Amino acid sequence: MPAASAAPAPAKSAPAKSGPQKAMERLGLLRDIDLALHLPLRYEDETRLTPLHQAREGETLQCEGVVTECRIELRGRRQLLVRLQDAEGDQLLLRFLHFYPSHQKTCAVGQRLRVRGELRGGFFGREMVHPQFRAVDEHTPLSQSLTPVYPTGANLPQAYLRKAVAAGLRRADLAELLPPGSVPPQLPTLREALDFLHHPPPRASLATLEDHSHPAWQRLKFEELLAQQLSQMQAQRERDLLSAPALRPRPGGLHEQLLAVLPFALTRAQQRVVEEIAQDLARPHPMNRLLQGDVGSGKTVVAALAAAVAMDAGWQCALMAPTEILAEQHFRKLVGWLEPLGLKVAWLTGSVKGRARQKMVEAVADGSAQLVVGTHAVIEDKVSFARLGLAIIDEQHRFGVAQRLALRQKLQAQSSRGGAQLEPHLLMMSATPIPRTLALTYFADLAVSTIDELPPGRSPIVTKVFADTRRDEVVGKIADAVHAGRQVYWVCPLIEESEALDLQNATDTHAQLCEALPGCQVGLLHGRMSPSDKTAVMAEFSAGRLQVLVATTVIEVGVDVPNASLMVVEHAERFGLSQLHQLRGRVGRGAVASVCVLLYTAPLSDTGKARLRAMAETNDGFEIARRDLDIRGPGEFMGARQSGAQLLRFADLQEDAPLLSAARRLAPALLDQHPAAAQRHVQRWLGGKAEFLKA
């Protein structure tokens, strides 16, 4: 209510942008529709005046009165004191610790003020500290609706934002796009819903507005969920229009030859997913499939079998991993399996340079390298494939949204080469399972295969949670394990604020363990090392020449050393649940019983406790994902990692399941019968974000 700021400029902004305009851009408030969809956090009731004799202390209220006294008090802290008397003769003191000369003018004796603030019982009677206030006369009208309070940012005054939103709401095109009868009954139109939510009438139920159960909120959530479903289905239909090479396994072909040389038989779950993938590959449309399976469930061999089918049919394959260590490990394993069968595997990461790189790039371009393994360097601009038939991304959730988008564009670019116009198939792998509700909403156009069983002969990992006061005891356990011919990981926490501290911590721990374990080879692995040094240390550990490996979280993904049977995680309370589970998956890969010790430093937060308890109670990655979802909620679960932006602003997947199913039912009919309306709906809701949904 204090002095209003300048009126916002119209949406088509002038060349020079003011502070508030930049702040609005940061909030994504660019189009009229964005403003119209910027909903209040809460409301203030300025529709009535409370007589002071009816007001209770602690209450936030609006009242009106005439100034009877206005002075600056100099004792103690300098402050402006204004005494007000309302129509019934009751008194109220206004106290301002920060004030300008203009305040005194507005609050001159005899002036009528309308004030709003929290009523407190003070030493000198009832008072308000720093209330909102403005000068009025007897006829100044009251607000006709509740006053919205919007989420805002620095340099963006509430009053400016209110005006901008009100203007955006007036201008926005909110014409009904959905055919009659398609919206769940009892829900208002979008225009009605938004008018209501921005300016609710005085008697609106604040409770249903605040818990978002009001029909106006329901309409918004429904619209949002519908936009998601539409854009997902659209992506799927677009993909179905694209062509891909139909890859069928040949009797006696590479696929069978590989199965014959593997040192183990596939589990039933592996056989099933291999079959699901084979069916996709045999279709003349690009596969878009996620292979999920707990750590250690054997996803790599499934990928190798898919690659064998593609290569057998004369196409190239690319396998990408998020880290060099992991890529290197895949490379070794695949070379071991595939080169004896006469295939050429190329190796491409950021650290392959000069002539070696040139040779690799040429082998990829002329098609002589049938399989290319590496980091995202594989999809760099300068690399182009002769005939890319299948791209495999391991630990796909570790790649950022931008990288995933770049990959898709790259794959599309590959397809137009050589006039073939064929898109490669895409197989993504992840050990972080996507909960079902999320899979339905965010990944509706993604086919999912799940490996739900571990290879036989694994003994379950026992997880122990210890206070770090028992560190010496744990070091004793390491000595025992090494003595028994086993290997050990010691994981140091990632210290977010400081990479330097991180390193210090790992280096100190390394020195301590070297001293405490004489005669034992202790290695050190951290993010600051060059890729080739990392690879060298990892190779030493794999070969058993190092017995203990102190590492920061660089070993988190995919590292496979079956002889490692003990893992210690220091400051386990600082890790996320799925990260702890990934880490733990580095042990328990052989037949020996494995142990994971989670060391924590007291005091633990409630969520910290819940995470460590979940780790001690279950080894099942799906159960871990469920608990993670419970502890963090879906918004954070998806987080920046999965989505790059929080994609659902209003709807909640658990709570709004009925609206989600209604949206799922409506979306295909809308796409078929009203494609233009469907298009406008997606544009209205997602604007530029629609692309993200495809990543």
Q: Please give the residue ranges that form the binding site for ligand ADP (CB under 6 A).
A: 264, 266-267, 270, 293, 295-301, 431, 455, 558, 560, 562, 589
> Angle 569-527-557 (CA atoms, 0-180°, nearest 5)?
55
Dist CA 490 CA 551 (whole Å) = 6
CB-nearer residue toward Mg ion: 148 or 558: 558
Find where tokens 């329901």 sit: 218
For ligand ADP, the nearest residue by Cβ is: 298
CB-nearer residue toward ligand ADP: 215 or 562: 562
Per the CB < 8 A criterion, the answer to whether 357 and 380 are in contact is no
Residues 25-54 that bind Mg ion (CB under 5 A): none
CB-nearer residue toward ligand ADP: 295 or 317: 295
DSSP string, 395-418: TGGGS-HHHHHHHHHHHHHHHTGG
Amino acid letter, 165: V
- Minimal CA–CA distance to 615: which of 603, 606, 605, 624? 624
| Half-sphere exposure of residue 576: CA atoms within 13 angstroms, side-chain side | 17
Q: Which of Mg ion, ligand ADP, none does residue 455 bind (CB under 5 to 8 Å by kind)? A: ligand ADP
Q: Which of Mg ion, ligand ADP, none does residue 301 bind (CB under 5 to 8 Å by kind)? A: ligand ADP
Give least dist CB 589 to ligand ADP, A: 5
CB-nearer residue toward ligand ADP: 167 or 291: 291
Find where tokens 């009904």 sit: 176
Give least dist CB 600 to Mg ion, A: 27
Per the CB < 8 A criterion, the answer to whether 403 and 350 are in contact is no
Dist CA 341 CA 670 (whole Å) = 51
Structure tokens, 417: 């080469």
Dihedral of the CA atoms 209, 214, 217, 219 (nearest 10)?
-170
Q: Which of ligand ADP, Mg ion, none does residue 565 bind (CB under 5 to 8 Å by kind)? A: none
Q: Which of ligand ADP, Mg ion, none does residue 296 bind (CB under 5 to 8 Å by kind)? A: ligand ADP
> Angle 693-448-616 (CA atoms, 0-180°, nearest 5)?
100
Give least dist CB 158 to ligand ADP, A: 51
* Rg of the chain taking only CA atoms, in angstroms: 32
By the rule CB under 5 A, 558 interacts with Mg ion:
yes
CB-nearer residue toward ligand ADP: 207 or 260: 260
Q: Which of Mg ion, ligand ADP, none does residue 55 bind (CB under 5 to 8 Å by kind)? A: none
The one segment of 102-110, 357-365, 553-561, 580-588 that binds Mg ion by CB under 5 A: 553-561
Give least dist CB 497 to ligand ADP, A: 31
By the rule CB under 5 A, 117 interacts with Mg ion:
no
Q: Which of Mg ion, ligand ADP, none does residue 232 bind (CB under 5 to 8 Å by kind)? A: none
Give least dist CB 321 to ligand ADP, A: 10
By the rule CB under 5 A, 296 interacts with Mg ion:
no
CB atoms within 10 A of CB 447: 16
Q: Which of ligand ADP, Mg ion, none does residue 415 bind (CB under 5 to 8 Å by kind)? A: none
Dist CA 105 CA 232 (whole Å) = 59
CB-nearer residue toward Mg ion: 557 or 659: 557
Handedness of CA 129, 134, 140, 144 (dihedral sign): negative
Dist CA 82 CA 75 (whole Å) = 16
* Binding-residue total with Mg ion (CB under 5 A): 1
Dist CA 115 CA 103 (whole Å) = 13
CB atoms within 10 A of CB 83: 20
Give least dist CB 560 to Mg ion, A: 7
Contacts of 662 (CB under 8 A, 6+ apart): 184, 222
Give least dist CB 394 to ligand ADP, A: 7
CB-nearer residue toward ligand ADP: 589 or 627: 589
CB-nearer residue toward ligand ADP: 184 or 544: 544
CB-nearer residue toward Mg ion: 334 or 666: 334
Give least dist CB 460 to ligand ADP, A: 15
Per the CB < 8 A criterion, the answer to whether 567 and 488 are in contact is yes
For Mg ion, the nearest residue by Cβ is: 558
Structure tokens, 368: 């002589």
* Residues at the site binding Mg ion, with contacts judged by CB under 5 A: 558
